[in-house]
Amino acid sequence: MKTFNLSDMRFGDLDAKNEIIKQNKIGSSVFFNSFVMPPALDIGQILGGSTVFVAGNKGTGKTALLRFIKEQLDSDPRCVTHMVLFKSNITEEERSGLSKIAGFSIVERDNSRSLAFEQDFKQFWMIYIHKTIAFLVKGIYDEGDVPESVANYVSVFASESDTWWQKITKILPFTVNGSIDLKLNLEKLTASLNIGVAGKGDRTYNSFSDIVNDLDELLLAIPGIPKKVYIIFDELEIFFNKSDQFDRDRRMVRDLIFALTNFNQKLSEYSSSFFFISAVRSEVLHSVSEIGQEVTRDVQDLGFRINWDEGMNSDAHPLLDIVERKIRNSYEEKMGVPLQGDVWSVYFPEKIGDLPIKQFLLYNSLFRPRDIVRRLSVARDFRPAATSFSQASFDETSLSYSNGIWEEVFDELITTYTIEEARAIESLFLGFYSYFFLEELFYRAKSKISSAAQKKYSLKSL
């Protein structure tokens, strides 16, 4: 006889991408069947192109939302999708190579006498997006049925099997010692313009923006396509490993946001066939905004910020709905029949300490989907063969859960601070009171500064 134990409850992984990969391998649909839309989100705004950016703190469900949207679009024969993962798809070697091609400039900062190092990746991203659009559009048509305007556009680019890095470098001007050879003539681009746009003639490109402008012209010459094209960007993450890498990656993320905003505006005026969606972590956006060329306004104007804090004490909170759905769907997949009865009374104690179980989970989760998954997964794995949670399931796993929470906080810190500075902040709170006055924190910081010179902790670090 089948039994349903805690080990059978598929609460998921901390990263929705990994959760989907695992469940796809075993034929599970718990993730998609249990998905709950973030509060106040109008999914039609995203699918219709009015909302481009999905912002929010780490663990608020941005990746889960993008994956759910992609799944829905992939099931619609009228749509094609492509997902780009900034962290996973673009290696350090490729980023370094692109940085060399981009070169640099020295600019005056804030109308002052101080100078700042600057790099610009906007045109590279524009070309990469053009490349992605071209082959998504080409794939819509059968062999031999590609319209002339589409064929002209696609012919500019390298083969479809190329990596993203090859896609860019094969259509960029040659470089000599990091300097752009401005005399390169892109034959296929000019040939396509001669075919599709009258009066162009051969030309020599003197800047990347000239290339982008002509690619824009070829794209906008396409009168229409039979499907909607969605390009989705995720993992726009940066980490303070080395200062030069950190600043380079911040500029790359900043300029990708700019490129998506630019494309969205440009295409919305001419075509209703192309749509862009991108997740942006709040702390990454804050860090990016520190290097100038403000993009925060674009994310605010064209974005939606995920926030699960509303209705904090409600028994009908959407995070609790996620928990219940995951348990019910896990049960049905294992037992073959729907779960009867109330999930909360069957599988949970009425209270944990003095708090009702639902409030306990909400408060412990910091109102983030990732952390409610973490809390339940840690408690489940304490006694996986049990058929329900107990007080001990949560009491005995509180330290493990807290360590996991701090790892998340630390990852957020290193989007702004060096690892050394983040460790210094960690030492400030480690072993300190759970509740304290601000004056007590200042006193502790001063004490640590006076005794930690040999550890190279600076005043700025603490």
Separation CA 412–CA 422 (nearest Å): 10
- Taking CB atoms within 8 Å and a gap of at least 24, the contacts of 312-321 are 312/362, 312/367, 313/359, 313/362, 315/358, 317/358, 317/362, 318/36, 318/37, 318/38, 318/39, 319/36, 319/361, 319/362, 319/365, 319/367, 319/369, 319/372, 320/358, 320/361, 320/362, 321/36
Ranges in the chain, pLDDT < 70: 1, 101-118, 158-206, 239-241, 271, 292-293, 311-313, 450-462
3 state SS of 278? strand
Residues near 252 by Cβ (< 8 Å), separated by ≥ 6? 86, 95, 98, 121, 125
Separation CA 150–CA 154 (nearest Å): 6
- The pLDDT of residue 355 is 93
The DSSP call for residue 108 is E
For residue 248, give both structure tokens.
């380079």
CA dihedral 72, 74, 76, 79 (to 10 degrees): 120
Task: Give the count of beta carbons closer than 10 Å to the beta carbon of residue 201.
Answer: 8
User: Strand 355-356 vs strand 351-352: parallel, antiparallel, or unpaired?
Assistant: antiparallel
- The pLDDT of residue 374 is 94
- The pLDDT of residue 177 is 35
- The pLDDT of residue 205 is 62
- The pLDDT of residue 195 is 40
- The pLDDT of residue 340 is 92
At 152-209, the pLDDT tens digits run: 888 887 555 555 445 555 544 433 333 333 333 345 555 555 543 444 455 556 677 8
Predicted structure pTM score: 0.83
Separation CA 309–CA 325 (nearest Å): 20
